[in-house]
Amino acid sequence: MARRAVGWARWAVWGLVALLAFSACAAPAGFSLSLYSGEKLSLSDFRGKPVVLNFWASWCAPCRAEIPAFVKLYEENKGDGLVFIGVNIQDTEAEARKFIQEFGISYPVGPDTTGEIAIAYGVKGLPTTVFINEQGSIYRTWAGLLDHATLASTVTEMTGRKLRVAATGPGSWEPPPLRSAAVDW
């Protein structure tokens, strides 16, 4: 019986490795998004640029907690070719616009009214953030709350360049050194 459990555990580990390897290099689904500003964007507009794609809703407490980090990192680095796109799901337009104004979101934001974009990216909960590298591959998908330090270090890791990050308290934050492995254990 113990041998069988070890065999299943080995297959489970290799299955997880294969899943992580696939998700680290999967091509992102193309999409078009009508923005709350009245403009329209397509993911293909940002070919060759790193993209941070954040799925959120105004009623989502973790979304409300993390959004200041996104706004701050975007404002600190918006001239460097780093693209942020907010995708609002399961929300009313009025509540979404109120959220955008409340937090001062200045990067492109639009509603996924049909849920097709969220489904294409495998969003199972909120918030979810998808990091797409300059080569056009999904670098990482993060389900759950992201703080400023984790967001900045993930973008730094993905792009290989140092971000402008303002000090947020005693001593300034420095991203951790880049690792060569794509999978964290």
Domains annotated on the chain, with CATH: 27-159 (3.40.30.10)
pLDDT at 23 over 50: no
The whole-angstrom separation of Cα 155 and Cα 82 is 9
Pair of tokens at residue 90: 């399961």
Find out whether the peptide bond into 127 is cis, omega within 30 degrees of 0. yes
DSSP letter at 104 equals T
pLDDT at 115 over 50: yes
Q: How confident is the model at residue 83, as a pLDDT?
A: 97
Q: Report whether 109 contacts 85 (CB < 8 A).
A: yes
Each residue's pLDDT tens digit, 53-106 = 999 999 999 999 999 999 999 999 988 999 999 999 999 999 999 999 999 999
The whole-angstrom separation of Cα 140 and Cα 155 is 10
